[in-house]
A and B are shown apart, each in its own frame.
Chain A
Amino acid sequence: MVETVVVKNKKEKFADIPVFSEKKEYRPYGVQETGLAFVGHEISEDRSSMNQFLHYDQLYTIRHGWNSKFFIGLLDGKIMGTRCPKCGDSWVPVRTHCWNLNCNLQKTEWMEMPLTAKVHTWTVAGWSGRSSLKRLPIILVYANIGTSKVAMANELHGLDPWDVEFGMPLKIVFKPKEQRIGAVNDFHFEPADSWEPLPMNPEKERIKKLVEPVYEWVKTLK
Chain B
Amino acid sequence: MSRKVCIIGGATTPFDYGPTGFESIEGGAAECIRETQQDVPEFSLRDLDLMIYSHFSVHFGHQLAPEWIIHDHLGLVGLPHYRVENGGNTGGSALYAAALAIMSGQHNVVGITGWETMDSVSQSQGSEFIAMASDIRYELMVGGIYPIYYAAMANKWMKENKVTEEDVATISVKNKNNAMDNPKAQWYRNEHRYITVDDVMNSRLISYPIKKYDCSLMSRGVAFLLVCSEEYAKKVNPDHYVTVDGMGLSSCTIRAGDRLNNPGWSKRYGPGYPGMTEFAACRCSAEQAYKMAGINDPLKDIDFGEIHDAFSTSEAQIYKALGLADEHTIAKFIRDERTSLQGDIPMNPGGGLLGYGHPVGATGLMSTIECYYQLAGMIPQKHLSRKTEVSDPECGIVNSHAGTGTSISNFILRRH
User: CB within 8 Å of B: which residues of A?
Assistant: 44, 48-49, 51, 54, 56, 62, 64, 67, 71, 89, 91, 93, 99-102, 120-133, 135, 137-138, 140-142, 144, 149-155, 166, 183-185, 188, 206-207, 210-211, 213-214
Contacts and interface: CB of A to CB of B under 8 A. Distances in A.
Interface in B215-272: 255-264
A123 B127 contact: no
Contacts of A56: 62
Contact of B143 (A48, A62, A128): A128
A124 B155 CA distance: 10
B60 to A, nearest CB: 12
Interface string B107-150: 00000000000000010110110010001011111111101110
Contacts of A206: 165
Interface of B: 19, 21, 23, 62, 122, 124-125, 127-128, 131, 135, 137-145, 147-149, 151-153, 155-156, 159, 165, 204-211, 255-264, 276-277
Contacts, number: 163
Nearest to A121: B156
7 contacts: A93-B138, A93-B255, A101-B263, A129-B145, A144-B260, A155-B142, A213-B204
B137 A125 contact: no
Contact of B156 (A127, A166, A183, A211): A166
Nearest to B207: A125
Contact of B205 (A54, A67, A121, A214): A214
B153 A93 contact: no
Contacts of B204: 126-127, 213-214
Contacts of B155: 121-123
B62 A123 contact: no
Contacts of B19: 44, 49, 51
- A56, A89, A132 — which one has the most chain B CB atoms within 10 A of its CB? A132
A200 B9 CA distance: 56
B139 A124 contact: no
A141 B204 CA distance: 21
B274 to A, nearest CB: 13
Contacts of A62: 137
Nearest to A87: B263
Nearest to A136: B143
